[in-house]
């Protein structure tokens, strides 16, 4: 079942309700001026949990970004989950980015791993192996393996993933959420053609990180 796009992510509704309630009470009992910090916090929560619909590229070989943010790594690396040499593309999300996570490819979830860990700055390379993280092994319909890893950051304290082994995902389909600053690593086959560079700003489900080589 595809996730609908109600503009505000469902994960944010309780936070928004509480913030709005406190802001309203502050306005009633403290006055407009003293309530401004409460309304500012409410606006921050509102923008953090926005979840806009996206136009997904139709290229079947395209690997789209799993997150909004800035590309902080494009490199050859060892995929620690599938134990292979791979191309790694990492996207760092700050607190002002959309934090809804989307599937980078059409594929089936072969396996899911969760690791408890630290909460280092997610922009650092060592966060990939030391921070709390949730990884999905996706296999495309063409038999290509892609690993997508949600990584908690310095402020993030909750990784949410709604799919498990056997789940069928479409490119750009929402599968999870990370609260308050984080990172997503994508490990691709070594022969994938990368389409982004360090420092690029990308958008989940819309920006193409790479193209998979055609096999067969």
Question: Active-site positions?
Answer: 182
Instruction: For the beta carbon of residue 180, count every other beta carbon within 10 angstroms.
Output: 16
Can you list the positions of beta strands (E) in 97-164?
100-102, 107-115, 133-139, 145-152, 159-161
The Cα diameter of the chain in Å comes to: 69
Helix (H) or strand (E) segment spanning residue 44: helix 32-48
Q: What b/e readout covers 96-123, taking b as 16+ CB neighbours within 10 angstroms?
A: ebbbbbbbbbbbebeebeeeeeebbebb
C-alpha 120/C-alpha 14 separation (Å) is 27
Determine contact, residues 90/128, Cβ cutoff 8 Å: yes
Asked whether 144 and 117 are in contact (CB, 8 A), the reply is: no
Cα separation of 87 and 46, whole Å? 35
CB 56 within 8 A of CB 205: yes
């Amino acid at each position: 079942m595809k996730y609908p796009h109600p503009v505000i992510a469902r994960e944010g509704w309780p936070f928004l309700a509480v913030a709005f309630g406190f802001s309203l009470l502050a306005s009633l009992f403290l006055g407009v001026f003293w309530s401004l910090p409460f309304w500012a916090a409410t606006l921050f929560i509102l923008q953090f949990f926005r979840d806009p619909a996206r136009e997904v590229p139709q290229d079947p070989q395209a690997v789209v970004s799993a997150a909004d943010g800035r590309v902080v790594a494009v490199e050859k690396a060892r995929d620690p989950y599938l134990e292979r040499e791979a191309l790694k593309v990492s996207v760092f999300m700050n607190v002002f980015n959309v934090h809804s996570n989307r599937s980078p490819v059409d594929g089936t979830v072969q396996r899911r791993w969760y690791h408890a860990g630290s909460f280092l700055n997610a922009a650092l390379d060592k966060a990939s192996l030391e921070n709390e993280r949730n990884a999905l092994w996706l296999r495309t319909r063409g038999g290509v393996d892609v690993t997508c890893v949600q990584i908690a950051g310095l402020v993030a304290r909750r990784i949410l993933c709604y799919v498990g082994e056997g789940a069928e995902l479409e490119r750009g389909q929402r599968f999870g959420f990370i609260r308050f600053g984080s990172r997503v690593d994508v490990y691709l086959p070594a022969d994938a053609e990368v389409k982004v560079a360090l420092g690029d700003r990308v958008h989940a489900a819309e920006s193409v990180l790479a193209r998979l080589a055609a096999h067969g």
